[in-house]
Structure 1
């Protein structure tokens, strides 16, 4: 019986330092039926030269974007050329264990109803060394063929706090086509918004063993503080605008805590860090629709609504009071 092909999507942009290791870990899979799709997103380093060494391998499909377009667009470009029945994701700086796809495909055959299967992962540094919390784990924590697969409705869980990494995820192509591909307007969280769409329609499975290494380094978008807060909030707003009934599937107090906290965090960023009071007003208003009794946000909203001379006067008064001896 012919094994179904897994198409592996790998966007490439200025990650030459780790690229060869990433490609090697994808090609070293014990599961034989793979297509590795490399999408060069106009890298300006020597990524193209590294890729060229691998092109004789018939398992590789190599594509080049006409302009730098981001990870989501690059993944969508790869999907247009995917021949596999299943789609997996491998970033240019991460690593897979050799039996990652073998374990996942076995689990998928046991659970054909699921919309996404992910696993545990371990974090590594730029040198490929495990973070301290993973160094004491038993060997069978990594790539364990006897690991359990837990299947369930996790929509509420990931709405509140997502820990599904593209690195360990695999999705049936037919289900991906049904819910839609990646949203390029959500850089850095396009995967999260897609997970929400999948989890609304299908059960999600978690294979409880480590199958990949997530490399942590300074250039990663996921470390960019308030930028990621704003784009995560945009992802949730985008998802809820398209599927407003989804809010009813989340415990109301948890939903309010999540959305109020994010809107208030965004508002305080514009209020304190940028002094952009017009934008802060919008986020404070949204926070107050969720928690009308939030006095701090109500006072800050009133301050934001003042004309500039009034705010200047208040600041001068506060500064003069601070200078007075106690």
Structure 2
């Protein structure tokens, strides 16, 4: 656990999740960086699946599909699948002038694919740390810092996309909000 002496709101005047993520990246010593926001949940097999897919594909970055819900995760709950169900029709419209979604989501995403729309949930990402070193980590932006990071990374690698459900995304929380019990 890393404790910051001042909140990002005190430091920058706004909630800056990039600063918090960059602090974690800078303190890490492993080959891979994986993000998990405080309100999201990883499923047990996530990291193994993604790292194996990265090794097989040669990509330095991976992301997965996941469950989309509102509130704390309940293993007996019913949830939409984030990309494949919840956003697929919206995405089909955004990609209508391309053939990029003709057979569902491709296994490899390049810069052209991701420029149209950010299909990547931060808590689904695993990246090689050296890729983050090359692009200079996340920029301190008021919003969209993750999308900016993915686009920068795609100048150096592609993303291997796993259709496996590897995380739960709570759409009611975000930007450092914690659950209150």
What TM-score, normalized to structure 2? 0.72
Q: 1:133 to 1:72 in 2, by over 3 A?
A: closer
Aligned to 1:159, the other structure's residue is in SS state helix
* Structure 2 contact 61–158 (Cα < 8 Å) conserved: yes
For residues 205 and 183 of structure 1, what CA distance do their matches in structure 2 show? 23
Q: Is the 8 A contact 1:162 1:192 kept in 2?
A: yes
Q: Which has the higher helix share?
A: 1
**In 1: Cα distance, 2:116 partner to 2:150 partner:** 13
1:93 and 2:39 correspond: yes
2:138 maps to: 182
Q: Is the 1:117–1:205 Cα contact (8 Å) retained in structure 2?
A: yes
Which residue of structure 2 lines up, in the alignment, with residue 198 of structure 1?
A: 153
Residues 126-183 of structure 1 show CA distances to partners (whole Å, capped at 9, x for unaligned) of 132455545xx9xxxxxxxxxxx8224x212211111111111100011111111111
1:161 is the counterpart of 2:161: no
Q: What is aligned with 1:102?
A: 48
Distance 2:57 2:79 in 1: 34
Q: Is the 8 A contact 1:155 1:200 kept in 2?
A: yes
Larger Rg: 1
Q: Residues of 2 paired with 1:204 and 1:127: CA distance?
A: 29
Residue 129 of structure 2 is aligned to residue 173 of structure 1: yes
Task: Tell me the equivalent position of 2:167.
Answer: 212
- Give, in angstroms, the shift of residue 204 of structure 1: 1.5
Counterpart among 3, 20, 23 of residue 74 in structure 1: 20
Q: CA shift at 1:79, angstroms? A: 1.3
Aligned length: 144
5+ residue gaps, structure 1, are 1-61, 138-148, 222-326
Flag structure 2 segments of 5+ consecutive residues without an equivalent: 9-15, 85-105, 176-181
1:117 match: secondary structure: strand
Query: Matched residue of 2:155: which SS?
Result: helix
Aligned partners of 1:132 and 1:98: how far apart in 2?
18
Q: Distance in 2 between matches of 1:132 and 1:214?
A: 10
Question: 4+ runs of 1 displaced by more than 6 Å?
Answer: none
CA distance in 2, matches of 1:177, 1:202: 13
The higher-RCO structure (CA 8 Å, 6+ apart) is 2
CA RMSD of aligned residues (A): 2.2
